[in-house]
């Protein structure tokens, strides 16, 4: 089993360094929920809400947003250039050291 370390900054500015498995087909939103961080994920990871929006703080290249993610972020609040939906970011070894910040709830 191989894990990566990532840092999640919650809405109070608190940093959580967590281990995320690369071999369980998880995404960033599911890791947040696994650590009881306040991510609603209303749609269950289908890119149909924006309650798992986060800001990518570290310098990782996550590729382009897909069309569904782009459409959701177009309608969401508090969107920045580095906004992504956590449910659309699969946990891979390339994400070692990833730092994200949870977007404010609407």
The whole-number pLDDT of residue 88 equals 96
Q: How many CA atoms lie within 13 A of 48 on its CB side?
A: 5
Is the CB of residue 62 less than 8 Å from the CB of residue 89? Answer: yes
Tell whether domain 3-102 is in CATH 3.10.20.30. yes
The whole-number pLDDT of residue 105 equals 85
DSSP string for 79-93: --TTEEEGGG-B--G
Tens-level pLDDT at each residue, the chain (106 residues): 589 999 999 999 999 999 999 999 999 999 999 999 999 888 989 989 999 999 999 999 999 999 999 999 999 999 999 999 999 999 999 999 999 999 998 6
Indicate the pTM of the whole model. 0.93
Is the CB of residue 54 less than 8 Å from the CB of residue 28? Answer: yes
The whole-number pLDDT of residue 10 equals 96
The whole-number pLDDT of residue 27 equals 96
């Amino acid at each position: 089993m191989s894990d990566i370390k990532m840092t999640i900054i919650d809405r109070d500015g608190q940093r959580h360094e967590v281990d995320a498995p690369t071999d369980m087909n998880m995404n960033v939103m599911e890791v947040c929920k696994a650590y009881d961080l306040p991510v609603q994920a209303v749609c269950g990871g289908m890119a149909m809400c924006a309650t798992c929006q986060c800001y990518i703080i570290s310098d990782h290249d996550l590729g382009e947003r897909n069309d569904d993610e782009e459409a959701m972020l177009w309608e969401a609040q508090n969107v920045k250039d580095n906004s992504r939906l956590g449910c659309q970011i699969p946990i891979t070894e390339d994400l070692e050291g990833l730092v994200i910040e949870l977007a404010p709830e609407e």
